[in-house]
Structure 1
Amino acid sequence: MISAKQRNLILFLLFIGWAIGNFDRYFINYAVLSITEDLQLSPTSTGMILSSFFAGYALMQIPGGWLADRFGSRRVLMVSVLMWSIFTAMTGAVWSLASMIAIRFLFGIGEGGFQPSSSKLISQTFPNDKRAWAMSIMLSSGGIVSLIVPLLSAYMLTTIGWRVSFLILGAIGVVITVLYFIFIKLPAHLQDEERISVGEKPQGIFKQLMKTPLMLNLFIAYYSIYAINWGLATWLPTYLVNVRGLDLISLGWAQTVPGLAMIVGIYLAGYIIDRLPLGKEKVVGAIACVVVSILLYLMFHAPSVTIFVAYQTIVILFISFVILLLPAIILKRLPSSVVGTSMGIANTGGQLAGFITPLAIGFIVQTFNGSYNAAFWMLIIFAVICMISLLTLNYRKGELLQGQQ
């Protein structure tokens, strides 16, 4: 292991990198209003732009993890940040719908390597009892960014415009790449471990991971919890405006409380997970999923918007716990040599959920003439599926892989 000072510096750099990556990702949701007007795009075309990122991001999860295991976390991190920065900057120079879709897809490809490689780096540099905490710090940057994006995006779009904004965000990413090159240095024994993994790692490790019950359960759990997360994130604003009668300003203020809950939930989860007895994490996670399913039902039947948001806030706390618990299981149960590939496999489920669930909810709502009943029941079912996946986790294969380290 490396010194605490070096670990904290690496964690700070991962926090900053994940923050700017999330800002790039969220900024498009606001910039697309101006982009649609400038390029004269239809609503369908706008949807294609927003979905193209998730397509590239999901496709890169497994290759990104495999590359991190194969060639080292530091190299893949730098390439990932540099690649997404280049395509973020190029977004400011698009000239057509086709160019925008292609560039956003490639941006997703670039960012797709970050989480698997950063997870591997955390597993290499942090002791087992601090890995969930470290992951919570890195992931919390996404929650913090989600709070500041609306105000900062509005300022940037009205002062310098969307094209210059994307160029600036790309330049910031290049600076972060340089910082990674200068300050993320692995000690000799970890560099030797990565060289060994390149030359001597069994070629069948990927196939073996794909066959493990542990990875199958984690893939399903990732898909289920992110289906709930993205389902709520993408459709709650529309639901609250169209069904509950909120105006946009009231909506914005109402959603700040759940946003803060996400940050608090991630920090609390990191603290709690590192202190759970080994083997108990899946039980606690399953209980959290049961609570989510009950609260989703109560949300849907809440008599007022205030009570609805109160239930939503508690739901976000428990969702945040499960979202952190799943990568923590990989970090704690599997050897560093396969963490990148393992995280890529599992996280592919989460990103597929981000691509599919919003489309599914839209289809359901349209099919039932604007009713959200079936959509809420679908999310409740996903919470139950996540619970079952966690309760039936099989660690035996993970222990077998641990023996290969």
Structure 2
Amino acid sequence: MVSVKQRNMILLLLFIGWAIGNFDRYFINYAVLSITKDLQLNPTSTGLILSSFFAGYALMQIPGGWLADRLGSRRVLIVSVLMWSIFTALTGAVWSLASMIIIRFFFGIGEGGFQPSSSKLISQTFPTDKRAWAMSIMLSSGGIVSLIVPLLSAYMLTTIGWRISFLILGGIGIIITILFWIFVRLPANLKEEQLKPSGDSQQGIFKQVLKTPIMLNLFIAYYSIYAINWGLATWLPTYLVNVRGLDLISLGWAQTVPGLAMIFAMFLSGYVIDRLPLGKEKVIGAISCVAVGILLYLMFNAPSVTMFVAYQTIVILFISFVMLLLPAIILKRLPSAVTGTSMGIANTGGQLAGFITPLAIGFIVQTFNGSYNAAFWMLIIFAIICTISLLTLNFRKGELLQANA
């Protein structure tokens, strides 16, 4: 068994690691304003930069989960943090659109192994009734980062510039890698080999996970909710500057309220999800997706920036709940032996959305001469798709996989 002290140390480091990864990810959404100007890029090229990370991130989800199940969560975590730190630093040395796309792609490859392996580590070290809470603590760092990034990005970009900023972020990541190496260790009585199938058995389990209907629904739900999340995260800074007329400092302050909402939502969601009766997750999740669709419509029709941010804050509450609910379903419904693989498959949907959506929005905005209306309608449609995928979840199929494992 893992002691409470050991669990808390692991969770603290996962929290820090996820925070640094999210900062690196979110910072590009603000830095791209300066990068676009320096490299003289159009909206489609900007979309390519924002999407290139997600191409690598999505590509690594399934291999990252499989490697975590096969080689152990600790090894994959350390390599993941090290690799993304190196390519974060290299982002500050780009000289062209092509070099930026390539470096951000490999940054995505590096970060792609973190969530599947961290999810597996949580499933190994926390009891079932604490896993959603543990996941909410880790993911809440994303909310804290989203609160800090707007203001800190504005300061960094207007003082030291985007190139030096990326070099500093990469150096911080190297320090975090060393901390993972020293402190993330499973006790001797918890052999990872005992928690995963081997050989032909593992290959058979992978095929079962891939073919299980619950995974198809989760894949679609992940894609839909992350399309909304990353569509907003990647393009809202540009939208608020170019369409709503904010400057960088005002933008930073305007985005602190949604950031606070995400932190609150993550902590509250973990508490609520751990106490939901089995089978009720999909109903509550579907209702949340309906609320997201309605709020998105109100948001892009808001008559003022104040109302826009108010609706954005509320929509963040519901998006955060669904984004925590989906991995919690995997942690609670599927065996630890396949958590990495299962999370990798499902999260591939989310990260494909992260790749496609920013690129699609860039194309839409350029096609409609700077109008974002069609882009917002696309996000509303994804809210509807997410609702349907959750309502049609078949938990019995997940229980069959549990029994077979």
TM-score when scaled to structure 1?
Answer: 0.91
C-alpha distance in 2 between matches for 1:243 and 1:168: 31
C-alpha contact 1:122 1:131 (8 A) present in aligned 2: yes
Give 1:68 shift. 0.6
Query: Are residue 353 (structure 1) and residue 353 (structure 2) matched?
Result: yes
Give 1:95 shift. 4.6
**Structure 1 residue identity aligned to 2:116:** P
Deviation string 1:39-66 (CA, Å, 9 cap, x unpaired) is x443355543332211111111111111
Which residue does 2:286 correspond to in 1?
286
C-alpha distance in 2 between matches for 1:168 and 1:352: 28
Give 1:239 shift. 4.2
Give 1:193 shift. 3.7
Which residue does 1:186 correspond to in 2?
186
C-alpha distance in 2 between matches for 1:226 and 1:93: 29
Which residue does 1:336 correspond to in 2?
336
**Structure 2 residue identity aligned to 1:42:** L
C-alpha contact 1:285 1:387 (8 A) present in aligned 2: yes
Which residue does 1:48 correspond to in 2?
48
Of stretches 168-177 and 262-271 in structure 1, the one that deviates more from structure 2 is 168-177
C-alpha contact 1:70 1:194 (8 A) present in aligned 2: no
C-alpha spacing 1:250/1:220, structure 2 compared with 1 (3 Å): same
Which residue does 1:118 correspond to in 2?
118
C-alpha distance in 2 between matches for 1:385 and 1:26: 26
Which residue does 1:363 correspond to in 2?
363
C-alpha distance in 2 between matches for 1:378 and 1:52: 20
Query: Which consecutive residues of structure 1, in runs of 5 or more, have no partner in the other structure?
Result: none
Q: Percent identity?
A: 85
Deviation string 1:366-404 (CA, Å, 9 cap, x unpaired) is 444554443333222211211111111112222122224
C-alpha contact 2:47 2:359 (8 A) present in aligned 1: no
Query: Are residue 78 (structure 1) and residue 78 (structure 2) matched?
Result: yes
**Structure 1 residue identity aligned to 2:213:** P
C-alpha distance in 2 between matches for 1:167 and 1:271: 37
Q: Determine helix, strand or coil for the equivalent of 1:99.
A: helix
C-alpha contact 1:71 1:194 (8 A) present in aligned 2: no
C-alpha distance in 2 between matches for 1:161 and 1:303: 34
C-alpha spacing 1:86/1:133, structure 2 compared with 1 (3 Å): same
C-alpha distance in 1 between matches for 2:98 and 2:302: 43
C-alpha spacing 1:196/1:49, structure 2 compared with 1 (3 Å): closer
Of stretches 235-244 and 331-340 in structure 1, the one that deviates more from structure 2 is 235-244
TM-score when scaled to structure 2?
Answer: 0.91
C-alpha spacing 1:368/1:253, structure 2 compared with 1 (3 Å): same
C-alpha contact 1:18 1:139 (8 A) present in aligned 2: yes
C-alpha contact 1:72 1:194 (8 A) present in aligned 2: no
Q: Determine helix, strand or coil for the equivalent of 1:197.
A: coil
Of stretches 22-31 and 41-50 in structure 1, the one that deviates more from structure 2 is 41-50
Q: Determine helix, strand or coil for the equivalent of 1:302.
A: coil
Q: Determine helix, strand or coil for the equivalent of 2:203.
A: coil
Which residue does 1:208 correspond to in 2?
208
Give 1:7 shift. 0.6
C-alpha distance in 2 between matches for 1:398 and 1:28: 37
C-alpha distance in 1 between matches for 2:380 and 2:91: 37
Q: Determine helix, strand or coil for the equivalent of 1:186.
A: coil
Q: Determine helix, strand or coil for the equivalent of 1:204.
A: helix
**Structure 1 residue identity aligned to 2:401:** L
Deviation string 1:43-97 (CA, Å, 9 cap, x unpaired) is 3555433322111111111111111111111111011111112222333444544
C-alpha distance in 2 between matches for 1:29 and 1:57: 16
Give 1:4 shift. 1.1
Give 1:306 shift. 2.8
C-alpha contact 2:46 2:362 (8 A) present in aligned 1: no
Give 1:326 shift. 0.4
Q: Determine helix, strand or coil for the equivalent of 1:403.
A: helix
Of stretches 386-395 and 173-182 in structure 1, the one that deviates more from structure 2 is 173-182
**Structure 2 residue identity aligned to 1:107:** F
Deviation string 1:261-305 (CA, Å, 9 cap, x unpaired) is 111111111110011111111111111112222222333443443
C-alpha spacing 1:326/1:176, structure 2 compared with 1 (3 Å): same
Give 1:194 shift. 4.8
C-alpha spacing 1:225/1:31, structure 2 compared with 1 (3 Å): closer
Deviation string 1:316-348 (CA, Å, 9 cap, x unpaired) is 101110010001000111111111111111111
C-alpha distance in 2 between matches for 1:165 and 1:134: 31
C-alpha contact 2:72 2:192 (8 A) present in aligned 1: no
Q: Determine helix, strand or coil for the equivalent of 1:393.
A: coil
Of stretches 149-158 and 177-186 in structure 1, the one that deviates more from structure 2 is 149-158
Length, aligned pairs only: 404
C-alpha spacing 1:37/1:257, structure 2 compared with 1 (3 Å): closer
1:57-68 counterparts in 2 under 5 A? 57-68=57-68
C-alpha contact 2:19 2:145 (8 A) present in aligned 1: yes
Which residue does 1:262 correspond to in 2?
262
C-alpha contact 1:80 1:113 (8 A) present in aligned 2: yes
C-alpha contact 2:73 2:121 (8 A) present in aligned 1: yes
C-alpha spacing 1:187/1:236, structure 2 compared with 1 (3 Å): same
**Structure 2 residue identity aligned to 1:220:** I
C-alpha distance in 2 between matches for 1:309 and 1:91: 31
Of stretches 115-124 and 193-202 in structure 1, the one that deviates more from structure 2 is 193-202
Of stretches 362-371 and 350-359 in structure 1, the one that deviates more from structure 2 is 362-371
Give 1:186 shift. 1.1
Query: Which consecutive residues of structure 2, in runs of 5 or more, have no partner in the other structure?
Result: none
Of stretches 82-91 and 3-12 in structure 1, the one that deviates more from structure 2 is 82-91
